[in-house]
Structures are given as C-alpha cells and as structure tokens.
Structure 1
Amino acid sequence: MDLINNENSLYILMISPHGLIRGNNMELGRDADTGGQTTYVVELMRALARHCEVGQVDLLTRLIEDPALSSDYSQPIEEIGNGARILRLPFGPSHYVRKEMLWPHLDQLADRSLHFLRQQGRLPDLIHTHYADAGYVGQQLSQLLGIPQVHTGHSLGRPKQLHLLASGRKKQAIERQFNFERRIMVEEDLLVSAAMVITSTRQEVTEQYGMYHNNESGRFVVIPPGTDIARFSPPGRRKINPHVMHMVDKFFSDPVKPMILAICRPAIHKNLKGLVDAYGGNPELQEKANLVIVAGNRDDIRELDEASQKVLRELLLDIDHYDLWGKVAIPKHHNAEDVPELYRFAARRRGVFVNPALTEPFGLTLIEAAASGLPFVATEDGGPRDIVANCCNGLLVNPLDPVAIADAINNALSDKQQWRLWAKNGVVGVRRHYSWDAHVSKYLREVRKLLRRDRKRMRRQIAFTMQNGKSPMPLARKALISDIDNTLIGNKEGLAQLIAWLKDHAGSIVFGIATGRSLESAVNVLKNARVPIPNVLITSVGSEINYSYRLQPDVGWANRIAYLWRREALEQVLSDIPGLTLQPAVNQRKFKLSYNVASEKMPSLDDLYQLLREHRLHARLIYSHEKFLDVLPVRASKGHAIRYLAYKWGLPLENFLVVGDSGNDTEMLLGDTLGIVVGNHGVELEPLRGMERIYFAHGHQANGILEGLAHYGWRITDN
C-alpha cells in the first residue's frame, strides 16, 4: 500500500461490476457474463501493475455473497501483487445476478465508491471503465471528482441489437432481456463525456460506433488487447494433458479425426446454433472432423440462468435433430488451466478454431488460438478482420450463412500446406502485434497525453478545488454551506475576506450554497458578486444538486427525490386554488412548482396538504416571506439535500457548518449540523436562539459567517 501514497506514480481505478472476477482460476464460461471481458480486465490490471510508471491499479467489481459460489467473491480485497488488487463493494442483491439486472443498483455502487475513496485517502489519476454498466458508474465518478474517464465498450448495444433482430428475435423480447434502450443511451452519453474511448480495432470505430449519433467525438484510440503468450503456445513435442484428452474424446466414436473447436459463453449472440447448423447440414464435414463445443460450465442445465438454459437446450435439440451423437463433444466442466490445453489439443489434431459470433468487437479467443498454432474461421464482423490482416492465419465468413461457415471449415481442414502456413503465421503475428507489453506501452503513452491536457484545462479553471484540479468532495474534512441572498452576499468587504479564507483552505473545506434560486439564477448572482463557482450547489429549494464549475448534476439525488413525484397531476390539482398563481416558466423546474401567493386568499398549508391527500398526491410545500409557495417532492429540501451529501460523500453531518438568514433555512439549521444565523436574519429564526449547535452572529452577511467560523474554531484548526 506504500505505492498508492507515491504521488509521482499513476493510480488507475478500473471498474467492471458484472461477472465473476477473481485473480486466479477464473470460472470462464460459467455463465454469459464471465468470459472475454473478465479475462481482459484482470490481465490488463496485471500488465499495468508491472509497469514502472504505475504505482497502483485497483479493479473495482461487485461483492457477492452466494452459497452457490466460491467465497472468493465475498472477499472485500484481493491482493494480486505489484500494486494490483481487486476491490469488491456490495451493491444490489447479495446473491449473483446477470448484468442486465444490475442497472437499478448502479447509483448505489457510485455512492459506495465515493465512500471507499474517502477511506483510502487518495483519488485516482484515471478511471477506466469496462462495458456500459461500468461506464455509467465511472461517468458519475469522473464528473463528480474531476478525474478523466477512459472507457472500453467490449461489446456495444446497437450492433448487438441489430444482429439479434436480423436473426429473427422480436424487439420487445430482446428489450426485456437486454435493456437495450438504457444501455444505448448510456453508450451515447459516454461518447460525449469520456476523455478517451479505447477500441480494439479501427472497424469498431467506423462501423460499430459509427451507428451512434455521437460518434464524431474524436476521442477514439485503437489499442489491440494483449494475450499471455506464456500460457498460450503451440503444442510442440509436449504431451497433451490426459484429463483434457479424456474430457473431449469420451464423446467420440472416432476420436482421431481433426477437431473443430469452439470456446465461448452460452450466449445467443455467440451463434452456436449457426455452427451446429453448419456442421449438421454438411455430411462431408462430419466425415472429416469432430466438433467440440466448450460452452461454459454446468452441473444441471435447469439450474442455469434463463438465457443460458435456452441456448444450451436449443443446442442439444439441434444435435439430436441432426443425429450428431458420437461426432460432437460438449463437456460439462472445464477450468481456466484447461483452455490453453484445448487449443493445443486441437492444433495437435490439425483442427481449426471457429468463432461464429453474430458480433465480435475483438475476439480474444482468436488471439489465443493463433498463439497456440491453431488456424481459425471467424465471423467477418468486427475485430476478426484486423486479426486476420495482422496474422494471416484464417478465414472470415458471414455468421448468418451456415453453408458458408461449413465451406470455410472444409477449406481450412483440406489444404494441409495452407494449414501449416496459417499455424506458423498465427504464432508469429501474435508475438508481433498482440503482447500485453505492447498494449500497455501504447496505453500509457495515450494516458500521459490525456493527463497533460487535463492538467492544462484545470489550470484555466477558477474554482475552490485542490491544486491538482480534482474535486475536494471525497477527501475534505469539513463543509461550509451557505444561503446566497442577504447571507453570502450583501457585504463586499466581508465577502472578499471569506473568499480568501476559502481559497486558503481549498481541499480541506468543501464550499457550497443552498438557495431557493434556480441553478442559472444562482450562477449569475455569484458571478456578478465575483464569487467563484462553489464545489456544490443546492438550488431550487433543495430539489437540485450540482457540482463545481462543470455544474454536473447529481444523478443519484434526482433519482432519489423522484419518489412519488407526479408533477403534472400536482399542477392540475393546484390550478384552481384561490391565491395561487404560477410563476413564469423560468422559475419552474423538473422537481419544483413555484407560485406567487396572495396570502389573504390562499388556504392554509394544512388545507392544501389535505387536498393533496384526497387526490393521493405527495409533495412538500414550502411557504416563504408570505409571498411564495414552492411545491417539491417529499424527499426534496435544503435540509434533506445536506443530509444526502453527508451520506453520499462519507462526511459526518456534524462536520457541516450551515448558514442562513430566513425561515426557509430552518430545516438545514436543525439537527446534527453546526449552524450560523447571520445578524441580519429574519424574525422567523428567533425561535432557534439558544440552541446548542446554532450560533447567532452579530455581523451581517459575510461578516456574520466569518464571525461564526471564529466561534467554531474553524479559522484556527484548519490552516
């Protein structure tokens, strides 16, 4: 852990929340979520950690407590070595679920990530996210913390959706299964917000990301992934593991024939049905070779997730339909150590590897096969094009054409001289183009350029931030939150002294405002008063939270206060109430209805609440200055917003110092916070006088705030 405190070395936080991830003996193929991506992120973590410029690499994933799984996945920290570790945070259900079921719980992961970063005391220099779910979490962390985000998509929603529709699936059915609508929306957002998008191939940029509206961001960098050539190598003279031979040969009536090998997860888009149709529909190919399908691990198909069950049941039905018994092997179990041996076994028998996936952003198995001296036949979609161009070791086919797949396999098996050339080319090509050392060298070169640009941009910003431009929110020890009108502003001399004090304490003190003004109005008032944009802005009477000069909205807060909020229905019910007139549109917000009030005509608040209950509506009514009524979600208020910030950022509520001058500040002044009431306060705050944790200042506006800081000792202890 010493390396993480070396500020001169890079600290990279990678996020990959789904699948089963551990440092050793990964359960590849156990389900549709544990495959190439899990291999990629663990091997990338190891390779980065070996580099002299990297001090720490953390891979953040989900902590899972499930009696059906190894206890490895319930360990909060797994040390990998060389400054690398796997971090597991609990979020969502405690048991294991497929990735599509995690979307409702990703905000919780973002919050718990912030808590973790506060506890360890150093922020990452870079956040690298994998797949859309991690991208969503990383986007929040990046924008909240001021840390650049690098994103790797692995597979993309739009092309996968298109291929599934082309294969005959119904749009409503695949939407229920895969949540494409939300996934694609997140992927579109990432193309705008991420500082860099890493792809494996140029084709991924032009054709797959080319399907997205925001594809012209210019943030793409092509870096082919690496493979561990120490694990994947040609068979040579070594003997094949007898366990692996038995695992395959026990299925065959004639085991000496060449092997057609496929290794993938039991997922629909992997198109195993297309492979079986190709083999089953070609008697010549059946006579020439055996088919080996390694599609994950299972004890009982009926115990797998629904999607995997469907794929494997259809696979077995198709094998029976074509009467392929004795010609097809479909082992129930394998481990990570068996995979290199399977490639070598197929190469020893002069076989061929087949990847018939409908869509393949890269194709890590193709690199592994090539490194093992095993030629391949692969889908013409995506990454395989670049691999064939670099390695010259196989053929590409249309994955929707079983006849073409069968013909390509036949060709690969029939020409022995071509087979030997492809086998040799693959081994040489992988060493030249796809080593992890080459990947990391280019990765860090691009990251260095990115961080230099980011630091220059930060130096141009004027804000209450740490010197390195990162947000102080996760590491600060205390927070000062003030109302604006007649509290923060109104006394130029006192305000200048307060701003100077805040700049002196940037990094250790969070500065925020809490106001009834809209965000736009608050920003304009602060600029006119020459107040730098605060670290956090609570606006529209607590219905909105935004951060720093980017005015980044807090998505978690918006999701939280949306509970029971029915804006249109509330507006309809209140439209005929005497004494209430809607304010101009500029004062209305998604989570706020604002009215001007004729106090002598308006019913009492109790009567208004009763009216809402009769219509089964829920809202918080804020009546101020006998002139204004704000209607908010029941969970929204300045006080609730401050308590939410305390939870979200792991900062104790008693370390918040809040400042107000009027009755609508009452809620945030009460409770465990420390409070300052400025000398020019309204009479409605007088009932708070004498409370232990609320100080009534004599000074007005900012002078009163400075007086309160001295009263609580903040001016002395936080230098």
Structure 2
Amino acid sequence: MVMTGKTDPLYLLLISVHGLIRGHDLELGRDADTGGQTKYVVDLARALALREDVERVDLVTRQIIDPNLSADYGGPSETLQGKANIIRIAAGPDGYFRKEELWDYLDIFADNLLQWLHQQPRMPDVLHSHYADAGYVAIRIAHLTGIPLIHTGHSLGRDKRGRLLAMGLHGDMIEQRYHLSRRINAEEDILANAELVITSTHNEIAEQYELYDYYHPERMVVIPPGTDLDQFHPPNGSEENTAFNDSLARFLNKPENPMILALSRPDVRKNITTLIEAYGECPALQQLANLVIVAGNRDDIREMDEGAQSVLTDILLLIDYYDLYGRIAIPKHHSQEEVPAIYRLAASSKGVFVNPALTEPFGLTLLEAAACGLPLVATENGGPVDIIGNCHNGLLIDPLDKQALAEALMTIISDRQQWQTFSENGLANVRQYYSWQAHAENYLNAIKPLLGQQMPLPKISRPRISLRYQDRAIFSDIDQSLLGNPEGLQEFARYIRDKRRHFFFGIATGRRLDSALAVLKKHRIPTPDVLITSLGTEIYYTPHITADTAWARHIDHYWNPGAIRRIVGEIPGLILQPKSEQSRYKISFQYNSDIAPPPDEINARLRHEEQVVNAQLSFGQYFDIVPVRASKGLALRYFAQQWNIPLGKILVAGGSGADEDMMRGNTLAVVVANRHREELSQLDELERIYFAQQPHALGIIEAIEHYDFFNNND
C-alpha cells in the first residue's frame, strides 16, 4: 500500500548520539566530540521548528549522567524553543564516553528510542541521523517502522582512515583507538538504506562518499548549513569592552595590530602547528599582525585528553622555539557567548580568520567569521572550497605549504582595498547563500518527495494465542542452543512444560518452518507459541501455524532474489544449497573458504550491484542472504512490539554468530556452551549477556536461574 499526498505539518526526528548537546552555553571545543556537529544539529532543530509546515522537531541524543559534567545533560528532555525539543535516551553506563567507545551501547540506545517512540502520539514522518553512530541507530528504527531515513555524515570513516594512515599511524593502532571498521561498516549500511543523504558541500560527494561501495550521488543533495545572522554581524564599536579583549593584553606587545584569528578545538587535524610555523618563519608577517589562537578551554593541560594535551604542548614548544612572545596569544578560556565578539574584534582590527585544517568537512566557523566581516584564508581540502567559491571573500591554500599560508595572510592584511573587498563580499554572500531560513526551505523541499511513500508497519490487534497472562518470553535457536545434549534437552523440555503458563516460548532459527517443526517433533520439544524461521524472514503463531503476513509484506522492501542469485552465482566458492534450505526470503549458499572471497568482498559486490540485503556467514560454511529488514533480532523486536512485551523480559538463547543481533540491546541473553560460542566472544564484556558454563539447553536453564527470570520485574 502506498500513501501519497501528505500535507499535514511534519514531525521530524533528528538523531545525534555523541557529544554534549543542550540548548544553551554549548561547550564547543571541549573535546573532539563537541564541535561543529553539535552546533549544527541544535541550530537545524531550531530553524525547522520555525516553519509553519512543521508540527514538531525532536533532537534525540544520549543521556549523560556524570558528576564531572553539568546536570543539564542528564535531563530526559529540554525545550529548545517552541516546537523543538532535545530528548535524551539512556544507553549503557551513565558516564560520558568519547564516540569511539559507544558502539557496544548503540543497540541499547536503539531499543530505548523505539520504546520511547511507541509512547508518543504518533510516529515521525522522517528520521534524520547525524554521523555514523546515529545512522546505525536510525537504520534499526527505520527497519522496524518503515519511516524514511535521511542521513548527514559530517565526516566519514574511510576518509579519516586514509588521513591517519598518511600521517604514519599504524593500521592496528588506528583500529584500536577509533574502531573504524565498525564505523565504516555502519556507513556502508547507511548509504545502502538511506532514502536521501544531505551533505554540506560538493566536495563531500565527489571526494569522500565516492570511496564507498554504495555510492549513489543521485540520492545525495548539497544543502549547506546556515549561520545566525542576528548573533554574527559586523563590528558595532563595542568589541573592545569584552573580557576576552582584556585577556589579550597580557600576551601582546602591540594589541592594536591586525589579528590573525584561528578558532578550533586542539585537534591534530586542525593543523594549528603548521600555522604557527608559517607565522614563525615569516618575520614580515610578525611585524604586521598578531596571531591569536583560540583552541578550546583549559585549566591544566596535563589533565586534558591525550590528543588535546599533545597539540597544546606542541603549540607551546613552537612559541618558544620561534620566540613569539608578545606577538602570539593563546588564551586559556572563552565562553561560547563571547565567540561572535571575538570575530568582530578581529574584524575591527582589519584582521583575517584562518582555517588551516588538513581537511574541513564544512567549516561553520568560516561562515560565522564571514558574517562578522572577516576575510578568510582556508584549507583547499573540503568545505571551504564551496564557501569561498560562493562568497568570494578569501583565499584557499594548501594546508601543508607554510610559505603559501604566510603569503596568503600577508596579501590580505597588507592590502587594505583587498581586505575591504573580501569583507564586503562575505557580508553580502553569507546572507544570500548561508542563512538558516534558506537552509530550512531547501531541506523541506528535498525531503518532501519521500513523505508518504512508505507505509509504516501496522500495530496489529491480536488475541492472546491461548494464554492471556504471559508478560515475558524465552526464545532459543535450535541447532546450537537446544540440541547437542540429550539429557539437558529433556530437562529443559520438562522446565518449559512446568512453567508454560507464565511465558511465551519461541524458536528463532535459520531453518525453514517444515524443517524446524520436524526437528522439534523428533526431539519432543514442546510446541512453541511463536516460530521465527528462515533467519527472521518468517513468523508463525501456533497452534494453527498462522503466518504473520504483515511481517512478510514489510520485509519485501528492496528484495530482488533473481538479481541476487545471478550476482552471487558468479562468485567462485559459493554454491546454492538444496531447495530444502531455500525460502521465499532466504537464499542460502554453501561457502568454500578455500576458494570464495571473504564475506566483506561479497557484500561489497552486492552493494556495487545495488542490492540492499542482510548477508552473513554462519559456522564458516553457510552464506545466507535475506532482505535488509529481516533478521532474527528484528523479527524478535517486531514480536515484542506486537505483543507488548518489554525487551527486558525476553530471554534470548544463542550459540553462534547468527544470533548476535538478537542478543545485543535490551534483551536478556545467554550464550550457551558449545563449539561455536567463540563466534560471540566479542559480547563477553556486555551487560545483559551471560556466558553459561553448561552446554546447550542446560545453559538456558542456568541463565534462567542467573537472571532470576520468573521473578524479575524490572
């Protein structure tokens, strides 16, 4: 069924997981996770909420309860303005973590967000994820709801990995610190599933997204962010009376000289050290202008994170090496409210704003500086190409060419007519190209073709099978969880029969329905209330083995089995399994690891052929492909929604990698002892996942007792 002609005011859900997000006093530059993206999503939510055709905007982020941070970040909600709100969702431990450490908690975030959404008066019209971690969450929500997904990457893992390798960092070290494999895999999935990708510059599309297997520029649109023209405006004569200006006096011998202003967090990618070297090696520039570096806030460099500590230490060493005392300022503190005045102070001195970053995805600070009348000198790598190309208000430089950087600064500062031209061009063109009003208009025009094109998964009213009081469920795989220990299986069967009135019993298996039923009958396993078969592509309810047709219609999204068989059939080492192992929504191959390419390469080939699927290797020998909306975990969550069973009251038993997505998130889980459990070893540090000592079905009983499952009312 297709819905068309949607004209009601929109409900937009923005998701931005990491960093510190609140509606006031943004701590920009506090660390690598609290930069331009934080300001972007807050400003976007505000701008969209001002539109008459928007009913509600929710900006969803992670709830952070940390004694070292403001209590603002622990509040479950915060009004931004009018129709815009910040919603904070719990995920994992309370404390603040850098984004690279959040991956293991994103499934919990997704489960909690989905639960919150089901408590709202209606579902959003669009999900808009920001950065890879939010995209990972949004895909799971989209798969279970059918809500269109749009995405903004802000920065990309493949590009980052290339830059880190070019800097000489070893691949293993990069992976250990940044977990880029998980990030890049998530980004590939996002590009495969997003209906629209919004970028800030053409450079992102041409040079960054092009690195990905699922590269489709026709699904991408450039909508540059705006800037607040009420907050950022030309000097009005009051700039000299700021506390920040007073703080510069102790640094500079000639504070009246033009100011070369650099404002960024202390991150090696911002390339501040090259700027200092360029300034230090150009005596003429030192005589002409002061260099002011605003690199976040600090009390004690020794207490900062390793990256910031390293950058700031290098800055101080270079200041000393070039003996720049009296000509360079590096203030310790500034507030976000002071930033517009800092730009205006530089503009009133007839100075320049410089961004020498190795690469800059967009460059919000460039817009802010331009709106205050400052000419620009900026990196030629990334967003500044578009900004200076539109505004004609500065010069682009190779960020590694110190001489070119110094010459560009000299050119603008020494030529007052050129300075005036660049300043006036920036003021006029920022207003034309980079207002938030224009951004919101272009944004809604871009997403409107997506609205009403997908039917959300319906909430089906069902009778309670045959029992009316179950408020919890136990799901198990068959082959690696139940089978393998006959005595234990008999004990588990008795356990199920004794407790049957108190819970739903479910099977989640890769087997087809007929095969699963035959095995259950052969081993005298009690008939389940629900069977999730063929790797989550089919759901059946007993006693009449009734198929859930709504689930079947839902997962048919993007499914093209003929094309998949053709593509994979051409790959050596993959042979179709017998018809008894195939089903309408599952294509299964025998995988010969001696001949076949790695699974990642097979997935890449499918993406290149525009096949959006969920493919996985099990037991090192079975390669299964199902629709992208289908998996054991997604089917399990669909069941939980339909029957109003909290995930925290569902115990999931698994024994191999095929069970992982059932076990991540808010379900209670047990990995039973068997010869394939090493496929799940990466889960051994996660809460709510118990590694049993007992094998197979006995391990499930062990977990029931471990969780005190039947008395657990959390």
TM above 0.5, yes or no, is yes
DSSP 3-state at the match of 2:346: helix
What is aligned with 1:9? 9
Is 1:431 the counterpart of 2:431? The answer is: yes
Q: How does 1:348-497 map to 2 (within 5 A)?
A: 348-452=348-452, 454=453, 458=454, 469-472=455-458
What is aligned with 1:341? 341
- AA at the equivalent of 2:457: S
Task: Determine the C-alpha separation between the residues in 2 that align with 1:357 and 1:322.
Answer: 21
Tell which deviates more after alignment, 183-192 or 123-132.
183-192
* Unaligned 5+ runs, structure 2: 1-5, 468-474, 476-504, 517-529, 540-547, 558-576, 591-630, 650-714
Shift of 1:241: 3.5
Task: Determine the C-alpha separation between the residues in 2 that align with 1:115 and 1:396.
Answer: 48
Q: How does 1:250-399 map to 2 (within 5 A)?
A: 250-399=250-399
Q: Percent sequence identity over matched residues?
A: 49
What is aligned with 1:704? none
Task: Determine the C-alpha separation between the residues in 1 that align with 2:643 and 2:402.
Answer: 56
Task: Determine the C-alpha separation between the residues in 2 that align with 1:521 and 1:59.
Answer: 46
Shift of 1:551: 3.1
Maintained 8 Å contact 1:543/1:591: no
Q: How does 1:93-172 map to 2 (within 5 A)?
A: 93-172=93-172
Is 1:219 the counterpart of 2:205? The answer is: no
1:481-512: CA deviations, max 9, x gaps?
999xxxxxxxxxxxxxxxxxxxxxxxxxxxx9
What is aligned with 1:549? 553
Maintained 8 Å contact 2:91/2:105: yes
1:95-151: CA deviations, max 9, x gaps?
111111111111111001011011223111000011111111111111211000110
Q: How does 1:27-106 map to 2 (within 5 A)?
A: 27-106=27-106
Shift of 1:172: 2.8
Task: Determine the C-alpha separation between the residues in 2 that align with 1:292 and 1:478.
Answer: 70
What is aligned with 1:538? 532
Maintained 8 Å contact 2:129/2:135: yes
Q: How does 1:151-230 map to 2 (within 5 A)?
A: 151-216=151-216, 218-230=218-230
Maintained 8 Å contact 1:367/1:434: yes
1:282-341: CA deviations, max 9, x gaps?
222222211111111122222222222222222222222222222221122111111000
Task: Determine the C-alpha separation between the residues in 2 that align with 1:220 and 1:544.
Answer: 34
Task: Determine the C-alpha separation between the residues in 1 that align with 2:309 and 2:643.
Answer: 42
Task: Determine the C-alpha separation between the residues in 1 that align with 2:327 and 2:531.
Answer: 67
Residues 1:274 and 1:447: Cα distance change in structure 2 (over 3 Å): same
Task: Determine the C-alpha separation between the residues in 2 that align with 1:91 and 1:478.
Answer: 33
Q: How does 1:463-612 map to 2 (within 5 A)?
A: 469-472=455-458, 518=511, 538-540=532-534, 548-551=552-555, 586=581
Task: Determine the C-alpha separation between the residues in 1 that align with 2:272 and 2:463.
Answer: 57
DSSP 3-state at the match of 2:118: helix
Task: Determine the C-alpha separation between the residues in 1 that align with 2:181 and 2:509.
Answer: 35
Residues 1:417 and 1:479: Cα distance change in structure 2 (over 3 Å): farther
Task: Determine the C-alpha separation between the residues in 2 that align with 1:240 and 1:366.
Answer: 22
DSSP 3-state at the match of 1:120: coil
Shift of 1:395: 0.3
DSSP 3-state at the match of 2:336: coil
- AA at the equivalent of 2:166: A
1:700-719: CA deviations, max 9, x gaps?
xxxxxxxxxxxxxxxxxxxx
Residues 1:521 and 1:68: Cα distance change in structure 2 (over 3 Å): same
Task: Determine the C-alpha separation between the residues in 1 that align with 2:74 and 2:88.
Answer: 7
Shift of 1:645: 6.0
Maintained 8 Å contact 2:513/2:533: no
Task: Determine the C-alpha separation between the residues in 2 that align with 1:294 and 1:164.
Answer: 24
Maintained 8 Å contact 2:508/2:632: no
Residues 1:373 and 1:82: Cα distance change in structure 2 (over 3 Å): same
1:530-589: CA deviations, max 9, x gaps?
xxxxxx982159899895535399xxxxxxxxxxxxxxxxxxxxxxxxxxxx99993899
> In terms of Rg, which structure is larger?
1
- AA at the equivalent of 2:645: P
Task: Determine the C-alpha separation between the residues in 1 that align with 2:32 and 2:200.
Answer: 21
Residues 1:19 and 1:193: Cα distance change in structure 2 (over 3 Å): same
Task: Determine the C-alpha separation between the residues in 1 that align with 2:24 and 2:162.
Answer: 35
Residues 1:517 and 1:368: Cα distance change in structure 2 (over 3 Å): closer
DSSP 3-state at the match of 1:65: coil
Maintained 8 Å contact 2:513/2:534: no
DSSP 3-state at the match of 2:354: strand
Q: How does 1:625-664 map to 2 (within 5 A)?
A: 651-652=644-645
Task: Determine the C-alpha separation between the residues in 1 that align with 2:36 and 2:93.
Answer: 24
Residues 1:312 and 1:480: Cα distance change in structure 2 (over 3 Å): farther
Shift of 1:33: 0.9
Maintained 8 Å contact 2:538/2:552: no
Maintained 8 Å contact 1:160/1:269: no
Maintained 8 Å contact 1:352/1:413: yes
Maintained 8 Å contact 1:262/1:293: yes
Residues 1:481 and 1:359: Cα distance change in structure 2 (over 3 Å): farther
Shift of 1:652: 3.0
Residues 1:55 and 1:296: Cα distance change in structure 2 (over 3 Å): same
- AA at the equivalent of 1:82: G
Task: Determine the C-alpha separation between the residues in 2 that align with 1:306 and 1:215.
Answer: 35
Residues 1:173 and 1:113: Cα distance change in structure 2 (over 3 Å): same
- AA at the equivalent of 2:94: S
Task: Determine the C-alpha separation between the residues in 2 that align with 1:121 and 1:522.
Answer: 42
Shift of 1:35: 1.2
Task: Determine the C-alpha separation between the residues in 2 that align with 1:369 and 1:159.
Answer: 27
Task: Determine the C-alpha separation between the residues in 1 that align with 2:39 and 2:394.
Answer: 23
Maintained 8 Å contact 2:63/2:75: yes
Task: Determine the C-alpha separation between the residues in 1 that align with 2:381 and 2:466.
Answer: 54
Residues 1:79 and 1:372: Cα distance change in structure 2 (over 3 Å): same
Maintained 8 Å contact 1:227/1:435: yes
Number of residues of Structure 1 aligned to a counterpart in Structure 2: 526
Q: How does 1:691-702 map to 2 (within 5 A)?
A: none
Task: Determine the C-alpha separation between the residues in 1 that align with 2:581 and 2:15.
Answer: 39
